[in-house]
């Protein structure tokens, strides 16, 4: 695990509004602490800089791992995953109730790799929607 200075950690959490930058669930409604994740893993040359860090729930972070790309499930073509510092969430995904629908190749690859629409995750988001606790607002890029 890479050391992330407290000030940088706080900056990443504040920028994300305390929300997972992939599935848009709030840390406030999780019983497990969110992770500061390297968008491009250190093993792929990524740096511990604000522009390469994102706030991620445990499940999104563990499923993403060191992946930066995957095959688009629709075309089988290699594509990069959603990059929270370079992409706008609403350009790659849309919500249909609790379901995260991908709009692009990057979105499809990300939904697949992070299993964003597994039944358990949909059930969690359904409950949060019922109590008007999902989704988090748009997250800033920088």
How does pLDDT run across 63-76, given as a tens digit for each residue? 999 999 999 999 99
pLDDT for position 137: 76
Q: Is residue 90 part of a domain?
A: yes
Q: Is residue 21 part of a domain?
A: yes
- Determine what percent of the chain is predicted with pLDDT higher than 90: 91
The number of folded domains in the chain is: 1
Task: Report how far residue 109's alpha carbon sits from residue 50's, in angstroms, rounded to the nearest whole number.
Answer: 24
Q: Is residue 142 part of a domain?
A: no
pLDDT for position 139: 64
Instruction: Residue 80: give the domain boundaries.
Output: 6-130
Give the pLDDT band of residue 2 (cuts 50, 70, 90).
confident
Average pLDDT over residues 72-95: 97
Q: Indicate whether 5 pLDDT > 90.
A: yes
Instruction: Give SS3 for 107.
Output: helix
* 96-141 residue pLDDT tens: 999 999 999 999 999 999 999 999 999 999 999 999 999 987 665 5
57 close to 22: Cβ distance less than 8 angstroms: yes
Nearest to 89 by CA among 24, 19, 13: 24
Q: Is residue 140 part of a domain?
A: no
Give the pLDDT band of residue 18 (cuts 50, 70, 90).
very high
Instruction: Give SS3 for 55.
Output: strand
What sign does the CA torsion over 105, 83, 120, 94 have? negative
């Amino acid at each position: 695990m890479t050391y992330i200075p407290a000030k940088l950690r706080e900056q990443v959490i504040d920028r994300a509004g305390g929300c997972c930058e992939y599935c848009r669930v709030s840390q406030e409604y999780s019983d497990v602490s969110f992770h500061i994740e390297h968008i491009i893993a250190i093993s792929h040359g990524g740096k511990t800089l604000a522009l390469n860090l994102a706030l991620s729930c445990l499940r999104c972070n563990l499923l993403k791992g060191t992946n930066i790309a995957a095959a688009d499930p629709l075309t089988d073509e290699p594509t990069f995953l959603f990059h929270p510092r370079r992409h706008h969430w609403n350009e790659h995904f849309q919500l249909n109730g609790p379901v995260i629908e991908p709009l692009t190749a990057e979105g499809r690859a990300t939904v697949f790799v992070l299993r964003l629409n597994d039944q358990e995750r949909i059930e969690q988001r359904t409950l949060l929607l019922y109590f008007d606790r999902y989704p988090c607002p748009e997250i800033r890029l920088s």
